[in-house]
Amino acid sequence: MLLTFFRSNQPAVLLAVPLLAALLFIPAFWGAPPAHTGAMPLSALVHHLTGGYAGLRTGLALVLIVLLAVQLAALLNALELLDRRNHLVALLFPMLFAGLSPSMALDPALLGMPLVLFALRRTWALPNAGPGLSRVFDAGLLIGLAGLCYLPYLFMLFVVWASVSVIRPFAWREYLLPLLAVALVLYLAWGLLRVLGLGPWEPMATLRAQEATPAVLWTSPMRKGFVALAVLWLLMGFAAFNKSYARSVMRGKNQRSGLMALAMALGILMVLLSLIKGAFPSVIAAVPASVIMAYLALAPRRPWLAELATLAGLGLAFWLQWAPS
């Protein structure tokens, strides 16, 4: 079945991801997705380059969803964050994104998430000792670029600091350099906008703009059913994560601590954005949830029940995309 297929470590499994994503999000091409420029330079630039071409924006959003699914699987396998190599998260991420998103649109949060994951991969690959300044500086640059897509991603700097604190002994330069890298990216972006006469730049406006793909949890009984299934799976996934954490060696525990820092940081962002705007981008919920759920899907006590839950989740996700209410 599906979980058995994606538990494989064969790279050919990833060829099924574009097909799955295309089947889930085909209806998005039938109607023009809402245009959402954001107030940050990179997201505004992408919107300008794709302006007037709704199909191009939808296609780019689909490519980003596939990229994120593959990137998450590669991240978990490269750093051995799960007990064994697999591609389960490449199945779970598109399913969660489809179930949480009332529409698929190219929004700033989706555009910046690949940069966040690249930054965390550089951070979590830090050695326990030895040179590490270049890695944390690169992570800061990537977080800064992600912030130029979606301002709240600057909050991920705390994930970098938390991860460094558990992986390596304290060294103040490793905490200062990421901050300087973020500040450098923002300063260069501000200077370039001034030189090109494209100001004024209002970064905080991104917190006032309506989300293009909010996680709307209350719009229909079908969506409520999907969210209830995802929450139950997620709670059981946390239990499986704790067991995996207890079995892992110290290096693995440190990296899993960084993973939990990411989940907590994105959870805080969801709460804050919900209070400020009443909604939050689906991608910041789908990324950590798919990773935690993969821990349970890797070795469930009752495989048939896990397969049934997966089919139910996919069925609900297909329904919500093809027959939204």
DSSP 8-class letter at 29: G
pTM of the model: 0.92
Asked whether the beta carbons of 14 and 90 are under 8 A apart, the reply is yes
Asked whether the beta carbons of 284 and 269 are under 8 A apart, the reply is yes
Averaged over 24-38, what is the pLDDT? 70
Question: Given pLDDT bands bounded at 50, 70 and 90, which one contains residue 5?
Answer: very high
In order, the DSSP letters of 226-283 are HHHHHHHHHHHHHHHHHHHHHHS-HHHHHHHHHHHHHHHHHHHHHHHHHHHHS--BTH
Q: At residue 126, what are phi and psi to the nearest 5 degrees?
A: -60, 140
Q: What does the pLDDT read at residue 38?
A: 62
Q: What does the pLDDT read at residue 278?
A: 80
CA 298 – CA 4 distance, rounded (Å): 9
The sign of the dihedral angle between the CA atoms of 246, 120, 263, 13 is negative
Radius of gyration of the chain (CA): 19
Q: Which has more pLDDT, 203 or 235? A: 235
Q: In this structure, what token pair is assigned to residue 320?
A: 């919500």
Burial of 232 (0-12, 13-18, 19+ CB in 10 A): exposed
Minimum mean pLDDT range among 121-125, 179-183, 238-242, 274-278: 274-278
Q: Any residues with CB less than 8 A from the CB of 129 and at least 6 apart, and which?
A: 168, 169
Question: Given pLDDT bands bounded at 50, 70 and 90, which one contains residue 297?
Answer: very high
Q: What does the pLDDT read at residue 47?
A: 83
Question: Given pLDDT bands bounded at 50, 70 and 90, which one contains residue 145?
Answer: very high
Model confidence pLDDT, tens digit, residues 58-80: 889 999 999 999 999 999 999 98
Peptide bond into 127 cis (omega under 30): no
DSSP 8-class letter at 210: P
CA 10 – CA 8 distance, rounded (Å): 5
Asked whether the beta carbons of 177 and 136 are under 8 A apart, the reply is yes
Answer whether residue 325 shows pLDDT above 60.
no
DSSP 8-class letter at 214: B
CA 275 – CA 268 distance, rounded (Å): 11
CA 19 – CA 72 distance, rounded (Å): 17
Averaged over 103-125, what is the pLDDT? 91
Q: Go through the chain and tell me how many residues it has.
A: 325
pLDDT above 70 as % of the chain: 91
Q: In this structure, what token pair is assigned to residue 59?
A: 């296609």
- Find where tokens 């326990």 sit: 128
Q: Report which of 98, 88, 66 is spatially closest to residue 222, judged by C-alpha positions.
A: 98
Q: Which has more pLDDT, 93 or 322? A: 93
CA 145 – CA 147 distance, rounded (Å): 5
CA 216 – CA 268 distance, rounded (Å): 17
> What are the residue ranges spanned by the domains of the chain?
2-322
Q: Report which of 154, 150, 99 is spatially closest to residue 282, judged by C-alpha positions.
A: 99
Question: Given pLDDT bands bounded at 50, 70 and 90, which one contains residue 238?
Answer: very high
Averaged over 28-53, what is the pLDDT? 73
Asked whether the beta carbons of 98 and 307 are under 8 A apart, the reply is no
CA 321 – CA 311 distance, rounded (Å): 15
Q: Any residues with CB less than 8 A from the CB of 209 and at least 6 apart, and which?
A: 36, 37, 38, 39
Question: Given pLDDT bands bounded at 50, 70 and 90, which one contains residue 318?
Answer: very high
